[in-house]
């Protein structure tokens, strides 16, 4: 798997994933790194990775398909490898709705039925390399309540704190709904947030929703990164 990259740091050594390596081979004379930062991000104790709703129903072919939603799987796997190599904690939220959930059109909601608990569509994307130790957080699991945020009506904040998390690396599906609301709550809870821009995709019900969501998250203090920004 290669990362799209135009500018890299010359002295970059091959990374724990193959991003820096492949980029270095493809662009041996590039001198400047990604414009978001001058320095690599060094994973450290206190970091946690959160995969938001990377579920079959949000992938192409699913009940609420996110355009290019499948692109987040290989992207996440690179972050998962980096976190795994350092034994840092991984969290995965999932939409876990009952069949009569209030967000479904039949109940007056705006969405087609999706992520019905314990059905195939609610399973994590095949190929997402979640470690056995990943903490799975189910949300919007009763008919009456919806939550786009992984923090809404769950013990996510408590579990993150119990794991010593201070800095959250957040990506997933969809940028303009569950990622946006999870990031806003994370910031409100006092966590630092790094946005995995290469591991998230938007529904874009209205064109530009994803871009606006990303701008809003950055405005609120989240820092956009991609995998090449991780220190080797």
Cα distance between residue 63 and residue 82, in whole Å: 31
Nearer to ligand VGL, 9 or 184 (CB): 184
Q: In what order do the strands lie in the sheet with 223-225?
A: 135-139, 90-95, 47-52, 167-173, 192-201, 223-225
Which chain residues interact with Zn ion by CB under 5 A?
95
From the list 9-17, 27-35, 157-165, 171-179, the region that binds ligand VGL by CB under 6 A is 171-179
Q: Identify which of residues 59 and 194 has a Cβ nearer to ligand VGL in the complex.
A: 59
By the rule CB under 6 A, 222 interacts with ligand VGL: no
**3-class state of residue 76 by DSSP:** helix
> Using CB under 6 A, which of the segments 160-168, 174-182, 191-199, 218-226 binds ligand VGL?
174-182
122 token code pair: 């609610």
In angstroms, rounded to a whole number, what is the distance separating the alpha carbons of residues 179 and 50? 10
Q: Which of 17, 53, 95, 176 is catalytic?
A: 53
User: Which residue in 19, 178, 198, 227 is the catalytic one?
Assistant: 178
CA distances to 54, 76, 208 from 62, rounded to whole Å, are 12, 19, 22
The residue from 76, 151, 177, 191 that contacts ligand VGL (CB under 6 A) is: 177
Q: According to the binding rule CB under 6 A, does residue 128 interact with ligand VGL?
A: no
**H helices present in 42-90, as ranges:** 72-85
Residue 178 in the binding site for ligand VGL (CB under 6 A): yes
Which of residues 95 and 185 has its CB atom nearest to Zn ion in the complex? 95
Residue (33 or 94) nearer to Zn ion, CB:
94
| Residue 93: DSSP 8-state | E
Among 135, 174, 183, 196, binds ligand VGL (CB under 6 A): 174
In the set 111, 151, 169, 191, which binds ligand VGL (CB under 6 A)? 111
Shortest distance, CB of residue 201 to ligand VGL, whole angstroms?
10
Question: Rule CB under 6 A: which residues touch ligand VGL?
Answer: 53, 64, 95, 103, 111, 148, 173-174, 177-178
Could you list the active site residues?
53, 139, 178
């Amino acid at each position: 798997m290669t990362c799209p990259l135009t500018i890299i740091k010359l002295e970059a050594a091959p990374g724990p994933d193959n991003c820096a390596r492949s980029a270095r081979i493809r662009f041996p004379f590039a001198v400047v790194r990604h414009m978001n930062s001058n320095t690599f991000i060094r994973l450290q104790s206190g970091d946690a990775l959160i995969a938001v709703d990377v579920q079959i129903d949000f992938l192409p072919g699913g009940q609420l398909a996110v355009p290019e939603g499948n692109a987040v799987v290989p992207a996440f796997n690179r972050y998962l490898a980096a976190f795994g190599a350092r034994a840092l904690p991984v969290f995965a939220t999932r939409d876990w709705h009952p069949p009569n959930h209030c967000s479904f059109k039949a109940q007056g909601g705006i969405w087609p039925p999706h992520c019905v608990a314990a059905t195939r569509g609610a399973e994590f994307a095949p190929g997402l390399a979640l470690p056995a130790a990943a903490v799975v957080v189910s949300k919007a699991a009763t008919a009456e309540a919806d939550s786009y945020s992984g923090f809404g009506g769950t013990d996510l904040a408590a579990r993150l704190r119990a794991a010593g998390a201070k800095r959250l690396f957040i990506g997933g599906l969809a940028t303009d709904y569950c990622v946006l609301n999870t990031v806003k709550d994370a910031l409100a809870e006092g966590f630092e947030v790094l946005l995995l821009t290469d591991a998230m995709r938007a529904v874009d019900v209205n064109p530009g929703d994803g871009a606006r969501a990303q701008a809003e998250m950055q405005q609120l203090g989240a820092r956009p990164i991609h995998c090449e920004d991780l220190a080797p």
